[in-house]
A and B are shown apart, each in its own frame.
Chain A
């Protein structure tokens, strides 16, 4: 293949934009491991033997419950995702497999949640959670996130279930297998590839959300990592080492997971699930 000048221009443009997209994140990561003096004297330099320090991280761990916040976020995200996939797949299966009266109406009803942000119901959600005694619990967050994630998950999983060959379930039905068994033993294992797509659309917004942790679980050690970082930085705003370290701690897990699974995430996005 010959190298055309047009192609080089394309690569230069893409590289420049990639640098713009990653530069700020990269700068935060490298400066988190530098002394305060080096942060200001040479912000663009990599940490070296003289400037290397982890004092920011020590301060973050000494002054906040980062491990706990991380665990809270993990619990909320994983439990929400499992419930969304399981409950969403059950509903998607019922809506795509069986023809019954009200099917279309129910699908439309569930589709409302795709376009209307549940956030706008926050006044009532908070009132309900107060009445149910669920304020400052992870349960409150999980319930809201499951309700928020279900509509899109049902749409995506429904499209996926439709592509599963019909012979499989018909053969099972001829053998007298119950509908429950067909779903749990045949369909559920087959939809695992769709979970990556559902995860892009449900897990990431849940992990990153600030709004619901802020109004439903802002204290009592139930903060999620996003809210924890927000509160921590609000307090230690002048301590550059600690601020940079806390940002790095919040970025790192997402970064690692993203680079590990980006293939599936990007595939899910470009598969046209929201077309």
Chain B
């Protein structure tokens, strides 16, 4: 049997390692560590390294220190677009936090009502758009909102809001909001599911006790359930943050790399793509692209650190 030819190091390895690292542990870990390090960690570190270089037309790279970041933040050719993308990304994130997570919380509250008929059917159906590709969702809504097809205006007319319709995706003033709401529409299922799971984990006796003590449904929600699901709301927030500051597909599918009209839907992901690959007359620059990616990395890390050390630590006190 082949298994007997394998080195027969046994239960002894469950105790702390001795001088030699047990071979089988290394064998189990090696493939994951190799692929993860080579194609995930190394590229991230190499990107940070590249952001400190500048390349000329011949492709020769020279070390320039933090010059790229200085350019990115202060040179009007770059900084205007960078800060515009950053501001749009903040708005994109704020809309998700308020609308997506708000609706998600509301749906989860409804779905967690005791003895609700058809709860799993609602959950399955409402979660469905989340499974589809962002690109497909983008095209679907582009068609829905297309004045030429007229589905959105005629539906609005049915509920008496006909005059309200406009080419929302094409106007500078409404494009970002519209794109954000499309993304909200698609991903509302994720906060809904996570919060729903957290609500289910609250022991019934706790709610019963509160009710017996005379708390109304509103007080039960505000003083009992909400504090208990705060850790989950924290997780939902950080997941939203990372996903939003890394978003790209939806804007690219609906608006292209130029994130029009007039960069009004430009977020960091599309700005990174343009910087890296170039667009129209501007030539793409790997080193400036690396600088933008590093800036995004710093933004995401700041968010994650605020969550880990500010939010999560404080919230943990409320858990059981």
Contact = CB atoms under 8 A, between A and B. Distances in A.
A10 B113 contact: yes
Given A116-B297, A150-B36, A243 B25 contact: no
Nearest to B294: A120
Nearest to A140: B39
B200 interface: yes
Interface in B12-52: 13-17, 21-22, 24-25, 27-29, 31-33, 35-36, 38-44, 46-47, 50
B128 interface: yes
B110 interface: yes
A91 B28 contact: yes
B260 interface: no
B28 A269 contact: no
Contact of B29 (A90, A101, A117, A124): A90
Q: Name A's interface SS.
A: helix
B124 A266 contact: yes
Contact of B32 (A18, A87, A122, A179): A87
Interface string A195-210: 0000000001001111
B47 A121 contact: yes
Given A110-B36, A123-B289, A91 B125 contact: no
Contacts of B235: 274-275
B16 A91 contact: no
A179 B24 contact: yes
User: Is the interface on chain B under 10, 10 to 19, 20 to 34, or 35 or more residues?
Assistant: 35 or more
B134 A208 contact: yes
Contacts of B125: 18, 21-22
B301 interface: yes
A98 B151 contact: no
Q: Name B's interface SS.
A: helix
Contacts of A259: 124
B173 interface: no
A233 B143 CA distance: 12
A114 to B, nearest CB: 9
User: Is the interface on chain A under 10, 10 to 19, 20 to 34, or 35 or more residues?
Assistant: 35 or more
B267 interface: no
Contacts of B36: 110, 113, 147, 150-151
Contacts of A95: 29
Interface of B: 3-4, 6-11, 13-17, 21-22, 24-25, 27-29, 31-33, 35-36, 38-44, 46-47, 50, 103, 107, 110-111, 113, 115-118, 120, 122-129, 131-136, 139-141, 143-144, 149-151, 154, 185, 188, 193-194, 196-198, 200-201, 231-232, 235, 238-239, 242, 246, 248-249, 252-253, 269, 276-277, 286, 289-290, 293-294, 296-297, 300-301, 304
